[in-house]
Amino acid sequence: MSKTCMVCDRRPHMGYQLSHSHRRTKKRWNLNLQRKRVLIDGKPVRGYVCTRCLGSGKAEAYIKPPRPAEATA
């Protein structure tokens, strides 16, 4: 799974975690990605979207339309 938002292309940030004694260890800050079905260019696509895009409205969640009720004889 790629840790990239399919709407805004945000990726994990790399850096150092600094201890009290200033020892540096490599750190990776991951995004809060959710697997959602969203509309991209008018088509529903399932993929990973960050919560920042979901909350701001950049990614519009796709809700499957209900099936039509079939007539029973």
| pLDDT 10s digits, 24-51 | 999 999 999 999 998 888 888 899 999 9
Alpha carbon distances (Å) from 58 to 30, 51, 53, 71 = 20, 10, 5, 39
31: CB partners within 8 A, 6+ apart: 3, 5, 10, 11, 12, 50
pTM of the model: 0.69
Check pLDDT > 60 for residue 73: no
Per cent of the chain over pLDDT 90 is: 52
Domain count, the chain: 1
39 within some domain: yes
Q: Give the residue numbers spanning the domain of 23.
A: 13-61
pLDDT band at 68 (very low <50, low <70, confident <90, very high): confident
Query: Cα 27 from chain centroid?
Result: 21
CB distance 37 to 44 below 8 Å: yes
pLDDT band at 72 (very low <50, low <70, confident <90, very high): low
pLDDT at 70: 72
6 within some domain: no
Q: Which H/E stretch holds residue 36? A: strand 33-40
35 within some domain: yes
Report the alpha-carbon distance of residue 10 to residue 42 in Å, rounded: 21
